[in-house]
Amino acid sequence: MISNLVNGLSVASQSGNSQPVFNPATGEQVDDLALSSVDEVNQAIDAAAAAAPAWAATPPLKRAGMMFKFNELLGKRADDIARAISREHGKTHDDALGEVQRGKEVVEYACGIPSLLKGEFSRNVGPQIDSFSDRQPLGVVAGITPFNFPAMVPLWMYPVAVACGNTFILKPSERDPSAVNLIAEIFHEAGFPPGVLNVVHGDKTAVDTILDSPIIQAVSFVGSTPIAEYVYQRGSASGKRVQALGGAKNHMVVLPDADMQQAAEALMGAGYGSAGERCMAISVAVPVGEKTADQLVEKLVPMVEALKVGPADDADAEMGPVITRDAKERISGLIDSGVNQGAELLVDGRSLSLQGYENGYFLGGSLFDKVTTEMDIYKQEIFGPVLSVVRANDYSEAVDMINRHEYGNGTAIFTRDGDAARDFADRIQIGMVGVNVPIPVPVAYHSFGGWKRSLFGDHSIYGPEGVHFYTRLKTITARWPSGIKDGAAYAFPTT
């Protein structure tokens, strides 16, 4: 039974409620996850609150020292973490290792917290008056994270929050919780005090307890748009600062001058990597012009047909299973709808069967051509190994198509034309843009976040935006007695 981690200790839930954890490659149950009660979540919140004053008073340099140790231990245990991810998520080992590395980069950024928290100082803003600013921690903060990146997304949250002087409550996905617990154990091995990071497993009961708690000051969330909107509204209503990252429908525009081989290879990795279960996956290719579309499709079809699908321990596998049987059925249903609504299914991944893994949640890659913007497979986030080709007559049509979509997470353009690339970056109403880069996830010292219904709240995640989200700005204006003139002043102060 997978337990909570509260106040530095493994704590078995007494709620009596649990759910199975499966290996998506085999369909077999590999563990049980206890689901926390309201009282158990509140116990973790109380532990974080008790630890908060001393942790906030800990010098940033000392916090950074622990973060350096945490980063070192993550590097040493990366293979173990990747295996835990693959066992419960299904992604290939190399993909899981990449996830750990991208999370680790945010830890490295958090190691620089003494510099990141430096305020500004102005001398003599008035007669012998000085003014300076300070960024102070919020107190207890929380994160609610998705199944598709069980290691990386939590590491996008709590290292920055903790480095800023906050204590943290993490509620991870119920589908693949083991990697989260393993990393939390490594976190405490690095020397962080009890109560600074607490992990509570649970369902909607745990989520609502976090959102309603008067002790928790801020909540970070990554998941689907309907749940992101719910988290934002309920958390904000209880007075919290909320950043809620939602769904996506990411387009890649291919101009006629692009290197078609390069574009096709980029689409393969971005569309089918991790079985398409990435919020930054490219799910729509937008070739400009019929000739461009024909050339691109001609290259894509044999690549998708040759896609190597298998379990994580198959060194040749390029893509693993999807997360659950329900997900497989939902994705298959959307493929059905694409066919029924008139799209051309060039490669059908629904019939894939792997010997010895017949009960696994495997799908092959599927490729649609001549998809239109009215079809469900275009409008909805499929979150599976399905790539749609939507043909655009010209560049302006491609830009308008992307800007009209309700989601605004990521996009890319492939071209050799610098003018077109610059214009695209300026005009496109999307939060993250790639130029000849199919998955433009920002590096750790920038920030990650979409626009429109892909992000609820004012702050993106990690990087400078993360520091701002997890701190409050305080500005102090000071004058000492020797500079004070006798007599009360009733006019509004000026310089």
Q: Does the pLDDT at position 162 exceed 90?
A: yes
Confidence of residue 263 (pLDDT cuts 50, 70, 90): very high
Question: Side-chain half-sphere of 432: how many Cα atoms within 13 Å?
Answer: 26
Helix (H, G, I), strand (E, B) or coil at 461: strand
The mean pLDDT of 67-78, rounded to a whole number, is: 98
The mean pLDDT of 161-189, rounded to a whole number, is: 98
Q: Hey, which residues are catalytic here? A: 279
Residues sharing a CB contact under 8 Å with residue 448, sequence separation 6 or more, in sequence order: 156, 245, 432, 441, 442, 460, 461, 462, 463
pLDDT tens digits for 228-261?
A: 999 999 999 999 999 999 999 999 999 999 999 9
pLDDT tens digits for 102-115?
A: 999 999 999 999 99
Domain 4-246+454-476 annotated CATH 3.40.1260.10:
no
Q: How far is C-alpha 286 from the geometric centre of its chain's CA atoms? A: 25
Q: Does the pLDDT at position 118 exceed 70?
A: yes
Q: Please state, in angstroms and as integers, the Cα–Cα distance from residue 111 to each residue in 37, 70, 120, 446, following that order.
A: 35, 10, 20, 15
**What topology is assigned to 250-435 in CATH?**
Aldehyde Dehydrogenase; Chain A, domain 2 (3.40.309)
The structure's pTM equals 0.95
Q: Does the pLDDT at position 100 exceed 90?
A: yes
Question: Side-chain half-sphere of 182: how many Cα atoms within 13 Å?
Answer: 20
Going by their DSSP bridges, the two strands 4-6 and 9-11 should be labelled as antiparallel
Are the beta carbons of 447 and 288 closer than 8 angstroms? no
pLDDT tens digits for 478-491?
A: 998 776 777 777 77
pLDDT in the model for residue 423: 98
Bridge partners, residue 10, by sequence: 5
pLDDT tens digits for 383-438?
A: 999 999 999 999 999 999 999 999 999 999 999 999 999 999 999 999 999 999 99
Q: What residues does each domain of the chain span?
A: 4-246+454-476, 250-435
Average pLDDT of the chain is: 96
Confidence of residue 495 (pLDDT cuts 50, 70, 90): low
User: Taking CA 57 as the corner, what is the angle to CA 52 and CA 62, rounded to the nearest 5 degrees?
Assistant: 105
pLDDT in the model for residue 494: 73
The mean pLDDT of 305-312, rounded to a whole number, is: 96
The mean pLDDT of 85-99, rounded to a whole number, is: 97
CA-based radius of gyration for the chain: 25
Q: Does the pLDDT at position 144 exceed 90?
A: yes
pLDDT in the model for residue 233: 98
